[in-house]
A and B are shown apart, each in its own frame.
Chain A
Amino acid sequence: GAVVSQHPSWVICKSGTSVKIECRSLDFQATTMFWYRQFPKQSLMLMATSNEGSKATYEQGVEKDKFLINHASLTLSTLTVTSAHPEDSSFYICSASGARGFRTEAFFGQGTRLTVV
C-alpha cells in the first residue's frame, strides 16, 4: 500500500511551452501533497505544499505564476510549468502525506525529469 505515482517519468519540451506533471496517490487519500525540485547531485528543495481544495502554499523564491499547482481531489495534484525555459530543466518529485497506523508519513513518487530545449 501507500503508492504514489508520477506521470510522466520524463518529458522533453520546447522553450516557451507548458508542461503538466501529475502526482497520484493510488491507494490512499492524500489531503496534502508536496512538490520538490532536485538539481543534479543536489538535495530536494521544497517548492510548494498542496492541500486538496485550496490554494497551494509556495516556498520563498518559488514563482507561483510559473509553477501552477492544482490539487482538485484527494488523490491527484498537478504541477504545470508554464512558459518553460532551459533553466527549468530539473527533476521534479512529489510526495503525498498519508497515515500509516497512527503516524503521518510522506510517500514519494518516482520523479519526473523535465528537459527544456
Chain B
Amino acid sequence: AQRVTQPEKLLSVFKGAPVELKCNYSYSGSPELFWYVQYSRQRLQLLLRHISRESIKGFTADLNKGETSFHLKKPFAQEEDSAMYYCALSGSSNTGKLIFGQGTTLQVKP
C-alpha cells in the first residue's frame, strides 16, 4: 500500500534550535518524495523535492531508501519557519498525483 507517515502532529522548538520533521513512506516502486509547506492563510507550496537535492530556505531532506524515510532538516530554525509541513509521495510516473502525510505543525518560539 502507498502511504506517507508523519508521526508528529506538532513540533515546537526555540529560534536557533535544529529542526527535524520526520517522514516515512511505503511504496512498492521508486517514488518521488516532496515536502510542501503551508504558511498561515496561504496555499500549499512546494518546498523541495528529493530529486533536486536542493537546499531551500535552509531546509534539506535526504531520501533514505533503506529506512524508507525522507526527513526534513534545518540546522537553525527561524520564527518565519512556523507553518504546516506536509511530506508527499508521487509514483514513478509523476503525473502530479500526490499522497500526503498527515502534516506536522512546526512552531518556532522566539
Residues of A within 8 A of B (CB): 32, 34, 36, 41-46, 49, 93, 95-98, 103-106, 108-111
Q: How far is the CA of A87 from the CA of B49 in the complex (A)?
A: 34
| Chain B residue with the shortest CB-CB distance to A34 | B97
What residues of B have a CB within 8 angstroms of the CB of A109 in the complex? 43
| Chain B residue with the shortest CB-CB distance to A33 | B96
| Chain A residue with the shortest CB-CB distance to B41 | A110
B23 to chain A, nearest CB (A): 12
A59 to chain B, nearest CB (A): 10
Q: Are A95 and B98 in contact (CB under 8 A)?
A: yes
A1 to chain B, nearest CB (A): 14
The 5 closest A-B pairs by CB, nearest first: A97-B96, A106-B96, A108-B44, A110-B43, A43-B102
Q: Are A44 and B100 in contact (CB under 8 A)?
A: yes
B75 to chain A, nearest CB (A): 27
| Chain A residue with the shortest CB-CB distance to B84 | A41
Q: How far is the CA of A110 from the CA of B100 in the complex (A)?
A: 17
B30 to chain A, nearest CB (A): 15
- Interface on chain B toward A: helix, strand, loop, or mixed SS? loop
Q: Are A108 and B86 in contact (CB under 8 A)?
A: no
What residues of B have a CB within 8 angstroms of the CB of A42 in the complex? 102-103
What residues of A have a CB within 8 angstroms of the CB of B103 in the complex? 42-43
Query: Number of B residues contacting the other chain (C-beta, 8 Å)?
Result: 19
Q: How far is the CA of A93 from the CA of B45 in the complex (A)?
A: 12
Instruction: Report B7-46 residues with CB < 8 Å from chain A CB.
Output: 9, 42-46
A43 to chain B, nearest CB (A): 5
**Contact residue among A36, A43, A104 (Cβ-Cβ distance under 8 Å from B95):** A104
| Chain A residue with the shortest CB-CB distance to B4 | A43
Q: Are A93 and B44 in contact (CB under 8 A)?
A: yes
With A44-B86, A108-B44 as known contacts, state yes or no: A95 contacts B102, CB within 8 Å. Answer: no
Q: Are A34 and B96 in contact (CB under 8 A)?
A: yes
B79 to chain A, nearest CB (A): 22
| Chain B residue with the shortest CB-CB distance to A6 | B43
The residue in B44, B51, B98, B101 that gathers the most chain A C-beta atoms within 10 A of its C-beta is B44
